[in-house]
Structure 1
Amino acid sequence: MTDGTTGGRPGRGDTGPDRTKVILGGGTAAVLLAIIGAAGGWVLAGDQVGPDPVSSGVSDTLTPTPAVRTSPPRERPKPTASATPSGSPSPSRPTGLTVPHLVGMDFEEARDELRDRGLGWQLVFGSGDSSSVRSTDPAPGTPVRRGVTVKVNVAGAAPPNEVPDLTGETCNEAGAELVDDGFSPRYPNGRSGTVTSQQPVGGTVGRWNDVVQIWCGTSPSVEATAPAP
């Protein structure tokens, strides 16, 4: 019998070469199981790893690309006209007023034309017999401002002119009348009050542009006889 005793010790039936084969077979099976388990674990571990986003292209479709906002370029302010530097005189603005064409006109008509435009005049007579305008300064068409005096050159000599009687008129009225009649008023003692005397006296025949003196408020004879202070 195989399970008897040998040398007084109970014997086992699986001794000998068969037992060695069994042990080797079990070891081989354990190694194979270990290899299979490792491979299975690697496979299982590999299943837990997500797909490669680069190779699969999933990230391109599932992950939205953030929109990049760009603001439009800001417009630069346009350069403005430079202001007149402080202390510099501002250019005169055109008024549309020009010297009228007076050449060939009678000098009295030329004077009235200048007065209607708000311009002053200065009559400069020549030596001939003509009363027509020979030239003007400034020249015709020159832009001017109101109040500018225009020199009127007359071809002929100054014609005779009678001095008006101004006694009793206000000083301002008397002066305006003298200018209208072609004389140059002078005010030896001021321009307030009424005219008490004049020189030359009314009715005297003179010429255009002659000077007429008028005393307003106090007669020159009274001034001469007044007592010294």
Structure 2
Amino acid sequence: MTDGTTDGRPGSGGTAPDRTRMVVGGGLAAVLLAIIGAAGGWVLAGDQVGPDPVSSGATGTPSPTPAVRTSPPRKPPTSSAPTRPSSSPSPSRPTGLTVPDLVGLDFEEAREELRDLGLGWQLVFGSGDGPSVRSTDPAPGTPVRRGVTVKINVAGAAPPNEVPDLIGEECNEAGAELVDDGFFPRYPGGRSGTVTAQRPVGGTVGRWNDVVQLRCGTLPSADASAPAP
């Protein structure tokens, strides 16, 4: 029998099984490597993040975000009409004019002082003696405006006063003269024309603050009053 070798080389009968094992082993190794490579690729692919399904279009390109339009803030409407300043002074605005201290003065002197300041006056006589001023309303030092009437309270009664003769004078001028002389004029028939009659008549002795009525109109002419020949 032979041991399978010829001239020191292995015989041909023992080489077929060894080649078969080498081919099978190489195939298994290739299959394992293919499985490992596929598994690694799957693991690596799983770590990637896919495109956002909301922002992706049909072609796979992301659609642009629509711009948000904001309207500018509205300005409050402004009035086109200019504001006109008031031409009349405010009643509460100080004028620097105050009621003077008239207490103790003769009422005629007190009246003249008020006239010089542009203030009116009203004489109120009492029942005592003397022509001196007892008090005023408003009180001395009170801020007032020009034209305000100040009440003068006189200690004594109204003294005697003679009524002036005003026949033939202009009605308005005659009334102003009565006020200066301490009387109150009244106009029963109006204030136009000249004084045609008065009551009491001129020269009558009355008292301060008495009322004198003036009849005003057109004086009768001398020819109309003269009897026909």
TM-score class, shorter-chain normalisation, is 0.5 to 0.7
Amino acid at match of 1:174: A
CA distance in 2, matches of 1:95, 1:115: 22
Pair 24,116 (structure 1): closer, same or farther in 2 beyond 3 Å: farther
Which position in structure 1 is the counterpart of 2:169?
A: 169
Shift of residue 172, structure 1, vs aligned partner: 0.8
Which position in structure 2 is the counterpart of 1:21?
A: 18
Matched residue SS, 1:20: helix
Which position in structure 2 is the counterpart of 1:63?
A: none
Q: How does 1:26-105 map to 2 (within 5 A)?
A: 26-40=23-37, 93-96=91-94, 98-105=98-105
Pair 95,195 (structure 1): closer, same or farther in 2 beyond 3 Å: farther
Is there any run of 5+ residues in structure 2 with no aligned partner, and where? 1-10, 50-72, 74-89, 220-229
Amino acid at match of 1:170: E
CA distance in 2, matches of 1:139, 1:183: 25
Contact 1:95–1:145 (Cα < 8 Å) also in 2: no
Identity %: 66
Pair 32,93 (structure 1): closer, same or farther in 2 beyond 3 Å: farther
Shift of residue 149, structure 1, vs aligned partner: 3.1
Q: Please, what TM-score do these two structures have when normalized by structure 1?
A: 0.59
Pair 23,93 (structure 1): closer, same or farther in 2 beyond 3 Å: farther
Is there any run of 5+ residues in structure 1 with no aligned partner, and where? 1-12, 53-73, 75-91, 220-229
Matched residue SS, 1:154: strand
Q: Please, what TM-score do these two structures have when normalized by structure 2?
A: 0.59
Equivalent pairs, count: 168
Shift of residue 215, structure 1, vs aligned partner: 0.9
Matched residue SS, 2:23: helix
Deviations 1:8-28 (A, max 9, x none): xxxxx97x6642332222111
Pair 200,93 (structure 1): closer, same or farther in 2 beyond 3 Å: closer
